[in-house]
Amino acid sequence: MNPAMENQVTAAVLVIGDELLSGRTKDTNVGHIAETMTSIGIDLREVRFVPDVEEEIVAALNALRARYTYVFTTGGIGPTHDDITADAVAKAFGVGIDHDPRAVALLKERFKDGDLNEARMRMARIPNGAELVVNPVSKAPGFWIGNVITMAGVPAIMRAMLDHVVPQLKTGAKVLSETIDAGLKEGDIATDLREIAKNHPDTTIGSYPYMNEKGFATRVVVRSRDAAKLVAARADVEAMTERIRAALAAKRNRD
């Protein structure tokens, strides 16, 4: 990330739950939030996973909310004893937490009187001063307090909540990106690629190895908020990869 990218809108994700750390559940929310942020010009800068332990959640939240424009949390807002995110958020902000009448009304739409038991009512406990985040899937809302947006962990619900939140976010200039499939090994292009990266300071150039049937190959991703600079860097990467491909082919013919 180069200095020109500072003063951007930034974000972090806090993934909450023992089940992610035990490997029982595989997180897919981070990737979805990351893609969404990129698509609207917000830089996702950090992700943390913490267990269902209040002091861990509070400490991570306070570290992240001080540093980034937005913090998205996922998980821990259901009705069971291990769902402690709402309390942790309230504690992090030093505010009280109570049954919120707007949230109670939403739960009453979903549950008949007899079914809206004490445990389910826990899902209406919202830190004081928070706005609700709509949950079109199962009603029990997320919430938004300060720069922290608390969402469910179930991917379908998290995605629906994020769709609701996105139009309300302050966004930055979108990062444009181009991918060049170099068709070469990283080590064959690395020296030249370093020079190109140095010559194009307002772009970020990443190199990502992958394996295909012939062995390792590389995708180069050029990113910039400036379309002209992106095109210039891309052209340099393409010219370089063509030159090296030709040189290696000539070498193979000689050998």
Residues 90-149 that bind a copy of itself (CB under 8 A): 111, 114-115, 117-120, 122-123, 138
What is the DSSP annotation of the chain? --GGGTTS-EEEEEEE-HHHHTTSS---HHHHHHHHHHHTT-EEEEEEEE-S-HHHHHHHHHHHHHHSSEEEEES--SSSTT--HHHHHHHHHT--EEE-HHHHHHHHHHS-GGG--HHHHGGGEEETTPEEE--TTTS--EEEETTEEEE-SSHHHHHHHHHHHGGGS---PPPEEEEEE--S-HHHHHHHHHHHHHH-TTSEEEEEEEEETTEEEEEEEEEES-HHHHHHHHHHHHHHHHHHHHHHHHHHHH-
One residue of 99, 129, 131, 191 binding a copy of itself per CB under 8 A: 191
Closest approach of a copy of itself to the CB of residue 158, in Å? 12
Closest approach of a copy of itself to the CB of residue 129, in Å? 26
- Number of other CB atoms surrounding residue 126 within 10 Å: 26
Q: Which is nearer to a copy of itself, 30 or 95 (CB)?
A: 30
Q: Which is nearer to a copy of itself, 19 or 146 (CB)?
A: 19
Q: Which is nearer to a copy of itself, 49 or 229 (CB)?
A: 49
Closest approach of a copy of itself to the CB of residue 231, in Å? 19
Residue 211 in the binding site for a copy of itself (CB under 8 A): yes
One residue of 22, 96, 214, 227 binding a copy of itself per CB under 8 A: 22
Closest approach of a copy of itself to the CB of residue 14, in Å? 10
Q: Build a one-symbol-per-residue string for 53-92: x at contacts with a copy of itself by CB under 8 A, - elsewhere.
A: x--x---------------------xxxxxx---------
One residue of 159, 223, 225, 234 binding a copy of itself per CB under 8 A: 223
Q: Which is nearer to a copy of itself, 131 or 194 (CB)?
A: 194
Closest approach of a copy of itself to the CB of residue 131, in Å? 24
Residue 247 in the binding site for a copy of itself (CB under 8 A): no
- Assigned token pair, 39: 């698509």
Closest approach of a copy of itself to the CB of residue 177, in Å? 8
Return left, alpha or beta for 7; rule: phi > 0 is left, psi -120 to 50 is alpha, else beta.
left
Sign of CA dihedral 205, 14, 162, 143: negative
One residue of 105, 108, 209, 235 binding a copy of itself per CB under 8 A: 209
Q: Which is nearer to a copy of itself, 53 or 173 (CB)?
A: 53
